[in-house]
Amino acid sequence: MAALTVKAYLLGKEDATREIRRFSLMPPVRYQAVHDRVAELFQGLLRAGPPPAFRMHYKDEDGDLIAFSTDEELDLAMPYVQDGVFRVYIKEKKECRREHRSQCSQEAPRDVVHPNVICDGCQGPVVGARFKCTVCPDYDLCSTCEGKGIHKEHNMVMFQSPLLNPFEVSKTYGAIARNGALPN
């Protein structure tokens, strides 16, 4: 029997696709095998919280997302395999999404200090997650200030651990301007 190709869609807000992965499984396909492979490919789901931090779905003939969490429910999904591809839609459980991760996290949060970075919201050191503005050349927030909604007018990038020091960056990417931006 041929391997089953699985196309896994990680869904975000309003069911928009955040990431797509493809893998294959040898028959007989069992729920735990699909679950474990999805958890392996989407590493953020494992860090989101204790199992099961996510739920898997398939689309039925009406286009509705049908949750499955057992071998029996997975067997009911098999008639919806199209062109040899089983499409799985993954949703993080609400309590394990980004805004609630502190409640769900299995591992204790690491209180890493980001050297030479000052929070522009509270003027304190940035400990733990660092949020860097994608527009402003030198604007960083600590997780507390980001959570308060400070500087919502621009998108932020989150860094869990400190970036390379400026000397390592300059060796790799060339000279860096005084404002921290890379030269054109």
User: Are 85 and 19 found together in one domain?
Assistant: yes
Residues 58 and 131 in one domain: no
Q: Quick one: pLDDT at residue 164?
A: 60
137 in the same domain as 87: no
Asked whether the beta carbons of 54 and 92 are under 8 A apart, the reply is: yes
Work out how many domains the chain is built from and give that number. 2
Same domain for 92 and 16, yes or no, is: yes
Task: Compute how many other C-beta atoms are within 10 angstroms of the C-beta atom of residue 168.
Answer: 10
Strands (E), 26-162: 54-59, 65-68, 85-92, 113-118, 125-127, 130-133, 140-142, 156-159
Structure token pair of residue 138: 């030198």
**Residue 80 and residue 35 share a domain:** yes
For 90-126, how does the pLDDT look when each residue is reduced to its tens digit (9 = 90+)? 998 765 555 544 544 444 445 788 888 999 999 999 8
Q: Which domain holds residue 73?
A: 4-102
Average pLDDT over residues 50-66: 87
Average pLDDT of span 59-69: 95
Please determine, for residue 1, whether its predicted confidence score (pLDDT) is greater than 70: no
- What digits encode the pLDDT tens for the residues 136-175? 989 999 988 988 889 989 888 888 877 765 544 444 344 4
**Which has more confidence, 56 or 93?**
56
Same domain, 67 and 156: no
pLDDT of residue 180: 46
CATH number of residue 156's parent domain: 3.30.60.90
Q: Give yes or no: residues 69 and 117 share one domain.
A: no
Q: Which of 102, 126, 142 is the last residue of a domain?
A: 102
Give exposure, 11-30, as e/b (b: 16+ Cβ within 10 Å): beeeeeeeeebebeeeeebe
> Model confidence over 17-45: pLDDT tens digits?
888 999 999 988 999 999 989 888 877 76
Check residue 95 and give its pLDDT: 53
